Structure 1
Amino acid sequence: MPIWLWLLLYDSMWIIEGLIGHVAHGKSTVVKAISGITTTRFKCELERNITVKLGYANAKIFKCEDASCPKPMCFKAYGSNVGDHPQCDMHGSEERKMKLIRHVSFVDCPGHEIFMTRMLSGATIMDGALLLIAANEDFPQPQTLEHLSAVEILNIQNLIILQNKVDLVPEEEAMNQHLAIRQSMEETIAANAPVIPISAQLNIGIDVVCEYIAKRIPVPVRDFISPPHMVVIRSFDVNKPGSAVDEMKGGVIGGSITKGVLKVNQIIELRPGLTQKYANNKWMCIPLYTRVVSLFSEQNELQIAVPGGLIGVGTTMDPALSRCDGLVGHVLGQVGTLPDVYSELKIGNIRLLRKLLGAASKDGTAATVERLAKGETLLLNISAMAKGGEVLKVRGTSATLRLNQPVCTSTGERVVISRRVQGHWRLIGWGEIEGGTRLDIPAAPNWIM
């Protein structure tokens, strides 16, 4: 089979689904109910019982091939390590095979207000999103509105609303909240989104969620022809303390390929790479060059990786560079094909929200979003990057900002703007990159480790 045809068949079922919503509304529990994977793995997450870093899990959604199998029970989800034709358990001792209809990579976003920038980083790679709303809490909660506005800004069209924890409230209360959700979504990007009552903890309604994911979330058109381009949203040092030198492994990068194909043994470039600031706000930028030694989708080892889904890329680079998410926001790709690196950005077509979401003024009402002011510091989310910048000039709906760290980006890319309010970064608007001050990039070396 030609490789292009194999890639088309492989990727025709793969989507990236985000989990968004207020803290403790059940996002991680839904991921575990579908994939069997616990996304809260770090000590700080287990101690506080909240998601702090972006969590990941892969799953497969199947449908029974027997037409008599009742809906929605004919839809099942398993971890990515399950074969492509498991047996349907709705037929007792009779053997009925199930058909694989979707590969799904889940991005579990933090719901706490102080981790809004991490949610925005994860949202940049989503094909669709599941918005979690807890039935046992008042609606709407602050981060419910803030996350909904974020996906609207990033133009994530395919939303499914999950009314979770319905087992904890009386039926009438759940019905009233369901109606309130429908009414509040009428003027938003989620106007046509289904509202599915579930209990993720009891595994009630999860088969309905699987059916909606399979039928409602379309697979985007993927580009296999262009040079590879990947957004880095996690990076790791996988070596254990005390490892011998000959046992050391290179840095590992996690993210999603947006276009092109990555292969084992391929030479890749990461920008902006190593940066150094000199006098008069001048920057030097040296991209990183390394070799791909392994590709993984969870525990599944790959020889090639294509757009769609989340992957880990093992490299030969110094693991000190990738430890503790040190490369988040970098752009990975074929040598010489990546976008420019900027130290200053001109952002145009800026649109500010009318009201501040996720925070209230002293009298308890939603605070008004003030216009951008020269000299203030803002936080910019560009793809998976979150960089601070000082406003140098404001003119109409455009502004020029000096960044505290260079970024690799291109003109026309959307920028999400946040402002420091009450000690936290709050979403206030968005715009588009029109240009800026580019850095000179030295030529690639003729040797790679």
Structure 2
Amino acid sequence: MGRKLPAQPEINIGLVGHVDHGKTTLTQALSGVWTDTHSEERKRGISIKLGYADTAFYKTEKGEYYASGKRPDGTDDRPEELQRVISFVDAPGHETLMAIMITGASIMDGAMLMVAANETCPQPQTREHLMALEISGIEKIVVVQNKIDLVSKERALESYQEIKSFLKGSIAENAPIIPVSAHHDVNLDVLIHAIESIIETPERDPSAKAVMHVARSFDINRPGLRPSSLKGGVIGGSIVQGQFNIGDKIEIGPGRKIGEGKKVRYEPISSVITSMQGGGLNLDTMQAGGLCGMATPLDPSFTTSDNLSGQVLAKEGQLPEIRDTISIQVNLMENMVTSDGDGPEPVMPLRNNEMLMVNVATSTSVGVVSKSQSGKANLNLRLPICADSGQRVSISRRVGSRWRLIGYGTIE
């Protein structure tokens, strides 16, 4: 978040879709930020973690749309109007990383579904990511037909029809399909116009209890610093409701693990906000919207290497309930995506003593079904979660060596 933008980001937009369909390249084209910074990501050429980038959208006097640093040629002297400041969440597309994609979906207000024109549609994770958006309740979607520079006009039109057929009957049936070349910055103005038209900023209530879903945490100290020069831990994520101010006392839950003999319990971590940043700006107050970072006096060992990822940060006394068991109303899909993509496989009912993976906001846990009947299920969780009644839980089942998305539940 080093580059300064005109304001705090006000919305999170996800980039989802099959591996190597151009999500990270499009993120860079729109923001100037290459989000694959992890050494293993660079070596393997795929996204492994969630990537984050901020940008601003502008509109010229002639009605041309562009993103920060991408002003159309010949328009340098014309007045411009800031439309919005946006945070992008770049989700990994590999099938083994679905849990990471689902946690990213939890902080998205809308999404771009990427489909490469040089491959048939749908690919397995194109289908599975669309299911994840549906389960997460994300209905504001723009479909991006990428890599049009690699195919003939005839193939581009054929790809368009494949996409239309795939989307029929889904939440994205009426979503616009925008052909682009992210690599060559082709048609990005049309894409930005579609985003501005379709993915509106949700209404926020600043008076609601203040809650942030933690997606990253850092130790910003360089090796070799003197103890007197050390800075506290930094926490990054998305404020989903309410607002925070510098000086607010905060709690982070479920918190830290404490062993008591053979028993283990979790205790919320208490701290205070010493500074905040969003869009590269130092801010005194931050409301729900895009991505942000908060500095604290916490020991950096708590925050290093994303140790707090998946936790919930709230103002003191406003932390959601910490649960090691959950009762959920279950909604299973009719079919799930298979590894080879050779057609649908029916989803069977939940079974007692079955192990499931559950995602709640940015947290991931594994639970064992203690009871399942009449559309309800009780789960005993290996790792506790911090969640309110009414929150959605995505449910995945182990199929072979992979976790497969099979439905969602609502916490009672």
TM-score range, shorter chain: over 0.9
Q: What's 2:308 paired with? A: 327
> For the Cα contact (< 8 Å) 2:121–2:166, is it kept in 1?
no
Q: What's 1:82 paired with? A: none
> For the Cα contact (< 8 Å) 1:232–1:254, is it kept in 2?
yes
Partner letter of residue 251 of structure 2? E
SS of the residue aligned with 2:405? strand
Give the count of matched residue pairs: 407
Alignment of 1:154-173 (within 5 A): 154-173=136-155
Cα RMSD, aligned residues only: 2.0
SS of the residue aligned with 1:235? strand
In the alignment, structure 1 residue 235 sits paired with structure 2 residue 220: no
Q: What's 2:14 paired with? A: 18
Segments of 4+ moved more than 4 angstroms: 86-89, 277-280
> For the Cα contact (< 8 Å) 2:338–2:345, is it kept in 1?
no
Distance 1:234 1:330 in 2: 9
Partner letter of residue 346 of structure 1? S
Normalization by structure 2: what TM-score?
0.94
Q: What's 1:438 paired with? A: none
Q: What is the CA-CA distance between 1:14 and the residue it aligns to?
A: 2.3
- Stretch of structure 1 that moved more, 205-214 or 54-63: 205-214
Match of 1:112 among 94, 98, 110: 94
Match of 2:65 among 55, 71, 75: 75
Distance 2:268 2:403 in 1: 29
Partner letter of residue 55 of structure 1? G
Runs of 5+ consecutive residues of structure 2 not aligned to the other structure: 1-5
Distance 1:135 1:370 in 2: 34
Match of 2:337 among 350, 353, 357: 357
Distance 1:258 1:373 in 2: 34
> For the Cα contact (< 8 Å) 1:198–1:204, is it kept in 2?
yes
Distance 1:106 1:290 in 2: 28
Q: What's 2:3 paired with? A: none
In the alignment, structure 1 residue 432 sits paired with structure 2 residue 406: no
Q: What is the CA-CA distance between 1:278 and the residue it aligns to?
A: 5.7
Distance 1:15 1:367 in 2: 35
Match of 1:29 among 4, 22, 25: 25
Q: What is the CA-CA distance between 1:188 and the residue it aligns to?
A: 0.1
Q: What's 1:97 paired with? A: 79
Match of 1:275 among 243, 251, 257: 257
Match of 2:265 among 261, 278, 284: 284
> For the Cα contact (< 8 Å) 1:113–1:358, is it kept in 2?
no
Distance 1:21 1:329 in 2: 22
Partner letter of residue 15 of structure 2? L
Runs of 5+ consecutive residues of structure 1 not aligned to the other structure: 1-8, 80-85, 435-449
SS of the residue aligned with 1:359? coil
Partner letter of residue 428 of structure 1? I
Q: What's 1:55 paired with? A: 51
Distance 2:411 2:152 in 1: 49
Q: What's 1:266 paired with? A: 248
Tell me: CA distance 1:170–1:193, structure 2 relative to 1, closer, same or farther (3 Å).
same
Distance 2:326 2:71 in 1: 55
Distance 2:18 2:72 in 1: 35
Q: What is the CA-CA distance between 1:90 and the residue it aligns to?
A: 3.2
Partner letter of residue 355 of structure 1? N
Distance 2:109 2:269 in 1: 29
Q: What's 1:393 paired with? A: 371
> For the Cα contact (< 8 Å) 1:254–1:313, is it kept in 2?
yes
> For the Cα contact (< 8 Å) 1:14–1:308, is it kept in 2?
yes
Match of 1:380 among 329, 334, 358: 358
Distance 1:107 1:365 in 2: 29
> For the Cα contact (< 8 Å) 1:146–1:358, is it kept in 2?
no
Partner letter of residue 96 of structure 1? R
Distance 2:279 2:303 in 1: 18
Tell me: CA distance 1:191–1:87, structure 2 relative to 1, closer, same or farther (3 Å).
closer
